[in-house]
Amino acid sequence: MGGKNESSSGTLELFLKIGLDERTAKNTIANNKVTNNLTAVIHEAGVIEGCNRTVGNLLYTVATKYPANALAHRPVLLEYVVSSKIKTPAQLEAAFSFLSNTASESLHLKDFEEACGVGIEVSVEDIEKTVSEIFELNKESILAMRYRTNVGDIFANIRKRLPWADPKIVKQLVDAKMYELLGERTAADNEKPTKQKKEKPAKVEEKKVAVETPLQPSEEELNPFLNFPDPKENFKVHTEVFFSDRPVLRCCNSKETLDKHLMVTGSKVYSRFPPEPNGYLHIGHAKAMFVSFGLARERDGCCYLRFDDTNPEAEKKEYIDHIQEIVSWMGWKPFKITYTSDYFQELYELAVELIRRGHAYVDHQTAEEIKEYREKKMNSPWRDRPISESLRLFDEMKRGLIEEGKATLRMKQDMQSDNFNMYDLIAYRIKFTPHPHAGDKWCIYPSYDYAHCIVDSLENITHSLCTLEFETRRASYYWLLHSLDLYQPYVWEYSRLNVTNTVMSKRKLNFLVTNKHVDGWDDPRLMTLAGLRRRGVTSSAINAFVRGIGITRSDNSMIRMDRLEYHIREELNKTAARAMVVLNPLKVVITNFDSASVMDLEAKKWPDAQTEDSSAFYKVPFSNVVYIEQSDFRMKDAKDYYGLAPGKSVLLRYAFPIKCTDVVLADDNQTIVEIRAEYDPSKKTKPKGVLHWVCEPSPGVEPLKVEVRLFEKLFNSENPAELDDWLADLNPNSKNVVTGAYAVPLLKSAAVGDRFQFERLGYFAVDKDSTPDHLVFNRIVTLRDSYGKVGGK
């Protein structure tokens, strides 16, 4: 612990020496990636004893923004920065752009200096002249807007004319010119512009769900795959691997390797979706599918569905079948379905080659010893054993001559690295367990860290896309491919998808399922794709949600459930037919309607139903016994209450106004047994309140009875995974089963998966538990749209 603190203290001192303020320096140390980059830049620039603040700030920018494909030229740029040939942020940005386009090709210094404005001095007089000209051109608008003028536009115009001008001097002269033209700020200048009040829409008889007018989508929303390079560009440096005892490894494909790869692929995009078949897929996998399958579809390429089946103990055919079914349901068609186990022979042969090259060894440490030695950054006692000995022992491991747990094959990486994922990762373990796909041929199995990158290479993957938690594995990924002289795919990490009020870890999901906290992997309360499908959510709504989030590297990806629900409502509002269901029925007897009569009325399936389209309507019976929601009646009326009350009228949707004339109470003189009412056949009464309802289809016959399951958030907290006792956060009211709901006859023929909007209640889907005599509906979402109203993260 003391060593770590001393290391942090030394790093802090190093960062302060280059002129960073203490707060920025401490924040930088909290980010391992930036810390490693900045430390390397400082050493590479030769300023470990310090430099002035201007140079230091530019070095910090190099550490955070330098293009990864041009790392070979970074030392040259640093010479220009330290010598103050490049001394402004604008020059540095121009350098980044030039070097990014140059990549690993030869650097022509004359062109570089010209592109970056090296040697160009912009005098104060030149800046003053340009500022005056810009102000003269915009004088009328500046006088009108005064201090509400968008000064950013003025700066942009100046930058166009004088890209290498000192920004500090530009700001000083612009501020002075504003003061010269406008004088002191007035109280009016500081007032916020008044917003025009929106006119309130006229009241209508039906409650409407707030619908937000969507903004025009950005270019990235229209095509979120713009960031990804063309396969032909895969000659650039992918990443730098820093070692404690040898030069930096800059990983990239040779021209010969890339040409061979492009010949096989026809220069097309090849991606892969590689789930482990050890559980059901969740909504996070929907994003992974969208990224990998979506890129291939966008670029007219190919995407593998590859089962990462390196652990025979955790995999089941049930999971494999489920994954294939869900991928298809989500709208994706794999180019090929493969298994990592398809490549077990090639992986074994490459492991032998890795040993021959001195990059792997057989180790006899226990799992606990390996953990301890890695934490202490100590080499295994068997790390330097002869290559011939490791080859013999690895062959014995393969032939089953060594007991399980008595040996592993480890990659010989760098135990002193700053990256934990370079501490001699395990490549092979012994497991005397038959494999679900490969049978009993093997008793040694490759690890994810060993197999994943090699199979990517063997399948000629152009874009290996994964979530950010794998970023620290980049070094190991490229080290291994480089060590075996294999083709290297382009690796890019994006933020994983986390949704509020649920858990996404397969381990936690498995615990919930196996311990009966939920009703299986497809419980509608879970964010598994099977659960969402059963709940009634469509794959197109899920894909729209994922597309809306975008493909970014922002690691602050806790998305509110409201945002998903917004996309679900957007689709169901257009596709779900309307119907009426009463969850908690209260009997209303209409005393002035003939008890032997039944009237057929027309109700709309769609809000904009056209009269001439008979399919847009359904028949609903109206008799003298009507059922309304218990919550739609009160004994005492109120000004802001639109339901039924004694002496008050309401409109029954698609039917007639009714007025409460009497209330029948139970013996306790509190419980309401039934309401007596009169209807207005002329419809002259114009009540404000509109209620949904269900009637007896014929005298004395009970309406269609259905079961309705109302789902709420599974967990009370937004991020239960971070709680020590996450199970205690389970919402005991996440599922409410209503067994005695009444429905209109239209729903009698509803089939499993059919979706409806129950008016005033929400969107519902028919559950698989339904039978012809007992329909079960799951609530998909309510009508309320908090994301549409107030926005969502």
Q: Which residues are catalytic?
A: 276, 496, 506
Using DSSP, state whether 648 is helix, strand or coil.
coil
Residue position matching structure tokens 């099977």? 530
Using DSSP, state whether 785 is helix, strand or coil.
coil
Residue 496 exposure: Cα atoms within 13 Å on the Cβ side: 14
Q: What is the dihedral of CA 18, 22, 24, 28, to 10 degrees?
A: 80
Residue 276 exposure: Cα atoms within 13 Å on the Cβ side: 15
Amino acid at 276: E
Maximum Cα–Cα distance across the chain: 102
Structure tokens at 32: 């391992």
Complete DSSP assignment for 421-470:
GGS--EEEEE----BTTTBTS-SEEE-HHHHHHHHHHHTT-SEEEEEGGG
Three-class SS string for 271-333?
EEECCCCCCCCEHHHHHHHHHHHHHHHHCCCEEEEEECCCCCCCCCHHHHHHHHHHHHHCCCC
For 225, 238, 462, 784, the CA distances from 302, given in Å and listed in that order, are: 15, 22, 10, 40
Contact 479, 249 (CB under 8 A): yes
Q: Return the closest-CA partner of residue 379 out of 399, 365, 392.
A: 365
Q: Return the closest-CA partner of residue 40 out of 419, 350, 388, 517.
A: 419
Structure tokens at 115: 């592109």
For 487, 624, 628, 697, the CA distances from 693, given in Å and listed in that order, are: 67, 12, 5, 12
DSSP-assigned beta bridge partners for residue 657: 651
Q: Return the closest-CA partner of residue 658 out of 673, 674, 672, 644.
A: 644
For 203, 205, 206, 208, the CA distances from 199, given in Å and listed in that order, are: 12, 18, 19, 16
The rounded distance, in Å, linking the Cα atoms of 717 and 503 is 11
Q: Return the closest-CA partner of residue 233 out of 470, 483, 463.
A: 463
The rounded distance, in Å, linking the Cα atoms of 429 and 728 is 37
Amino acid at 735: K
The rounded distance, in Å, linking the Cα atoms of 765 and 752 is 8
Using DSSP, state whether 383 is helix, strand or coil.
coil
CB proximity list for 292: less than 8 A, separation 6 or greater: 271, 272, 273, 303, 463, 465
Complete DSSP assignment for 356-381:
HTTSEEEE---HHHHHHHHHTT---T
Go through the chain and tell me how many residues it has. Answer: 793
Amino acid at 268: K
Contact 539, 279 (CB under 8 A): no
Q: Return the closest-CA partner of residue 535 out of 565, 563, 508.
A: 565
Q: What is the DSSP letter of 81?
A: H
Residue 411 exposure: Cα atoms within 13 Å on the Cβ side: 27
